[in-house]
Structure 1
Amino acid sequence: MNNITVKISSLLFFLFVIIVACNPDKPTPDPDPIPEPITLIANSFAAVPMPSTLSTGDPFPTDSIIVNGWVKQSKVDAKNLETNKNIIKHGWGIWSALTEITSEVHDNKPLRRFETWYTPQDIITAYGINNQNAAAELIHVKRGKGNLTNFNQFNHGQNNPVTSDPGIVGFVKYNPSAAEYLYKNKLFYKSVLESYKKEGALAAIPEFPLGGISLKPVFATLDSINPLTGNYSLQIWPGEQGNNQRAWGRTAWNNSVDVTIDGQTDISKRTYSINDFVYFIVDSSQAAAIKNNPQLKGEAPEAGDYAVLLGMHVSSKENVRWTWQTFWWSENPDSPYTPSSPLIASLRAEAQLDQAANHYAMAIAYNMVQKAQPNTGGSNSDVTSVYAYNPYLEAGFAKGVFTNGNKLVSDAYGADYAKIDGKLNDWGMQTNCMSCHMQATIENGVYIADQYVDMEAPYFKSKVTLDFSWSIQKNQIDSTGKNIK
């Protein structure tokens, strides 16, 4: 082999080495690893369902034929408050079940039935868990009593938003059957809600299951001290004081009682034991949620503080238009202020309430007006108002809150349609839960005070009604699980 051949061979060999070095055969990369399904562990306490029979003897849920029969026999007193004893006793029976202490425990404290239930955030969290593990169920959501927050109703869908009382906080809760319905149907996803829409026609989400319950408990954390006694001071409802045509919010009440943690109730000194209230002790997560909420500026509870139940809205799906009752703490529960009454108070004796639950008053309305009107085709002619509101939620609503709602109704039916006995109800202390909740749609809906509302009102066309559930509208999320403001 001559030198030229050797040189060429050597050159080819080095070229081959360089080519191989610069262009190695790269192994096929492994596919992205499939994430391991998250481990499913049931929550430390279970959601306790409603009893099949209420303490007042009514089955739960009570057949809609029976409930509607009560509604047909509804009568109101001179203050437009319900007097039908069957309706009133049923409301107290529901209250007894909600506040019954169960065998479930959290933070070493037995839980009342309503405390074991699900918040909207619990259900939304469950959506995310299910996306990671298809076997996930609601029971696998790690949850506590619920983070306290301000209420959207103080500035929702209103012409003149109402500033939320910074001391009023709470959450929404659903019983197990209502929560399961919201979970399985994925009804907090805006895209799911919009899929029901029918342009130019009426549309609605599937109805909640019979026996479904939605709650809105209202709390105040005890942080104000009476310098004269050293006890906590709490502002409480002073009644309408003869005038329900005004905004009458808690900051204007100037009516307080003392709350003692270690002492005894002394009615003569307007001092009440903490055991006269439904309450819980704030944990670190709840305290942080309040402190980090920009709409609750100045509120700075600490873990270990007491949160007392001021009131609670309660609706139960026992007929098409639900039942509606609302509760609030009363200094004199045997003779409570309007919108409750001595008659309503007297019938709670059959409900077998404990010391704390027995200290609450109730307003109740299973119909919008009396005489009762049908689901569709009724009117506000020859009827009387039925009032039911919560002092801590609606009493502070001024006329401006209802301006948009009143315009919507008058545009559809005429200026006088909503008037009852020639008068338009347009203050917070003239409201009815059913009239207002019927306005709940996907869109930013409106509030109205007490009046008959047709379930097929023309202004519901091209919208999706939410089966009386404002809480769905206010907790809509996008595909990533983020809340839609």
Structure 2
Amino acid sequence: MIPSKVGESWPIRLVSLVALYLFLTSCSKQQSIPVQSEQSSISESIIPVPLPDTGITGFNFPEDSLLIYDWLAKQDTSTIYSHAWGLWSGLTSTTDQIYQGKPLLVFETWLGLGEIQSLMKENSLQPIKTGRTPLQQPKQFEHSATLAMQAGVDTTAGANFGTNFWVTVSYNPSATNYALQNQIFKKSVLDSYKKPGEIGAIPQFPSDAITIKPTYYVGNVSDSYIRIPAWPGPPDTPKPFGPNLWDSYIFVDVSNGQLAGKPLVPVGEGVGPTPESTCNLSDFINFEVDAEMAAYLNKQQSAVQGDTAKTGDIALLVAMHVTTKEISNWTWQTFYWAPNPDDPDAPSSMTAAATRPTQLSAAAAHYGVTTSYAMVWPNQPITGGTNTNVTPIFGYNPFLEAGFGKGTFNKRVNQLNPNYQYGVQTNCMSCHALATSDQTVVYTADEYISMDDPYFVDKVQVDFAWSIQSAIISDQ
């Protein structure tokens, strides 16, 4: 944020901000999202910041796609993890953009879907925001429940409903420019790519595009200790396994009075904070909820829970999907908060943790990572591959997808293993491959999907971006 000067006119300031935005960008190589008034009650301008140079040896962005394909051919998971951590280091770097007196991290400066929708409706190409991207209830929960009901399957035992998880979906400057220039959220534009009897597709995002889906848990401002479900790893026998079934909790000391870096031992239901189960607020990437954000949260949840959100509540980042267009099918990595980040539970691993760079802040270093740069091993071609004699790759956000069960995936017979019916058997790339513009939600567990699969005939592929489908603007 660049503070306004006394006597400086808004038009002049806007021109300056746009010019600075263009300079910065030149120096760097999911039902519809409700569009609300996303202007902060405190007028502050935030210029989206591109992924910076992290200073990590060997990390480049965007990386040469041929090099990434070589990693995949060699199943070089160590290098893939290192690349994912390089992205995380850039995303969690501090910027000079300020909101309510505090510097923002790189990913916090990026525009959310609703903000991009608003600009698109105004035919504006000036991607500047004036507040935090509003938190939304996860669309996965809604979609999973709808799919389960359509299948006549009760999955409430593993559901995530009633938990205090919220998300945003945001685009980096390159992806935002692509969306605005191509007007890609507009239904009329998407419809123009239809090819009756054939497979339609939108233009692909540029190679330096990044989309993210941060997941937050919002804790009450009046609590000295905030209790948060802690991922214990997948169940021995696959089943719906949402946070309400984990029986595993840690406590967050909002006053940061705990010994830094101490080992954590989660406790079960009915147990209060213990020294071993309590960490510091500074162990999480977090922010304070302002009045406008609290009102928006209450607007979404009041019918069920009442107006529980308050100014000063704390939103703690528990996970984040991150995807980059460095290869045709995008790279996929998910970061999630781990009680023991040196030995995180699956789908992460000690191997993944061992590649974590020292450049990360203490908070950013408290997350595990899982990657899905391919759907299966060995990696298959974009079209014409196989589900025979391959090994699955599971990668998911435990806080969002682990609760999925029978019914969520009933619209498609899994070609790798028909018994893959649970969220803990999913792969980000496989599921996002099915994203189209026809607003039909079809999820899948892990399997290889050819991009010329008959499923896509008479549909418009939206380049793996469920976010486009959920942000469609009816402009006809």
Q: Same fold (TM over 0.5)?
A: yes
SS of the aligned residue for 1:312 comes to strand
User: Of 100, 120, 145, which residue of structure 1 is paired with 2:132?
Assistant: 145
Distance verdict in 2 for CA 1:472–1:165, change over 3 Å: farther
Deviation of 1:256 (Å): 1.1
Deviation of 1:142 (Å): 3.9
Q: Is it true that 1:389 corresponds to 2:384 in the alignment?
A: no
Deviation of 1:151 (Å): 1.3
Distance verdict in 2 for CA 1:386–1:97, change over 3 Å: same
Structure 2 distance, partners of 1:207, 1:351, is 34
Deviation of 1:84 (Å): 1.5
Structure 2: which amino acid aligns with 1:470? W
Q: Which structure has the larger Rg over C-alpha atoms?
A: 1
- 1:314 and 1:324 in contact (8 A); partners too: yes
Structure 1 distance, partners of 2:433, 2:302, is 27
Deviation of 1:224 (Å): 8.9
Q: 1:189 aligns to what?
A: 186
- 1:378 and 1:454 in contact (8 A); partners too: yes
Deviation of 1:154 (Å): 1.7
| Superposed CA offset, 1:130-182 (max 9, x none) | 3xxxxx4323x443111111011223275306664441101101000001100
- 2:256 and 2:282 in contact (8 A); partners too: no
Q: 1:338 aligns to what?
A: 346
User: Of 203, 206, 211, which residue of structure 2 is paired with 1:209?
Assistant: 206
Matches within 5 A, 1:429-468: 429-443=424-438, 444-468=440-464
| Superposed CA offset, 1:416-443 (max 9, x none) | xx135xx632210000000000000012
SS of the aligned residue for 1:401 comes to coil
Distance verdict in 2 for CA 1:341–1:296, change over 3 Å: farther
Deviation of 1:296 (Å): 7.0
Structure 2 distance, partners of 1:127, 1:215, is 20
Q: 1:235 aligns to what?
A: 229
Matches within 5 A, 1:17-96: 41=14, 42=17, 44-52=45-53, 55-74=56-75, 84-96=77-89
Structure 1: which amino acid aligns with 2:88? W
- 1:166 and 1:297 in contact (8 A); partners too: no
Structure 1 distance, partners of 2:453, 2:83, is 30
SS of the aligned residue for 2:333 comes to strand
Deviation of 1:253 (Å): 1.4
- Most deviating of 112-121 and 39-48: 39-48
Structure 1 distance, partners of 2:257, 2:323, is 34
TM-score (norm 1): 0.81
Structure 1: which amino acid aligns with 2:385? G
Q: Is it true that 1:160 corresponds to 2:148 in the alignment?
A: yes
- 1:225 and 1:233 in contact (8 A); partners too: no
| Superposed CA offset, 1:386-418 (max 9, x none) | 111110011000021000122xx6xxxxxxxx1
Distance verdict in 2 for CA 1:160–1:317, change over 3 Å: same
Structure 1: which amino acid aligns with 2:176? A
Distance verdict in 2 for CA 1:296–1:456, change over 3 Å: farther
- Most deviating of 264-273 and 314-323: 264-273
Matches within 5 A, 1:295-310: 297-298=304-305, 300-310=308-318
Structure 2 distance, partners of 1:440, 1:331, is 33
| Superposed CA offset, 1:282-303 (max 9, x none) | 1111101110115873162111
Deviation of 1:215 (Å): 0.4
Q: Runs ≥4 in structure 1, deviation > 3 angstroms? A: 161-166
Matches within 5 A, 1:372-411: 372-406=379-413
Structure 1 distance, partners of 2:256, 2:55, is 33
User: Of 94, 99, 121, which residue of structure 1 is paired with 2:92?
Assistant: 99
| Superposed CA offset, 1:349-395 (max 9, x none) | x2510010000011111000001110000010010001111100110
Q: 1:171 aligns to what?
A: 168
Q: 2:252 aligns to what?
A: 259
- 1:56 and 1:93 in contact (8 A); partners too: no
Deviation of 1:445 (Å): 2.8
Gap regions ≥5 residues in structure 1: 1-37, 75-82, 131-135, 410-417, 481-485
Percent identical residues: 38
- 1:247 and 1:398 in contact (8 A); partners too: yes
Q: Is it true that 1:180 corresponds to 2:180 in the alignment?
A: no
Structure 2 distance, partners of 1:265, 1:163, is 30
Matched residues, number: 413
- 1:138 and 1:183 in contact (8 A); partners too: no
Structure 1 distance, partners of 2:466, 2:378, is 26
Deviation of 1:240 (Å): 1.5
CA RMSD of aligned residues (A): 2.2
Distance verdict in 2 for CA 1:175–1:142, change over 3 Å: closer
Structure 1 distance, partners of 2:171, 2:47, is 13
Structure 2 distance, partners of 1:428, 1:129, is 38
Q: 1:325 aligns to what?
A: 333
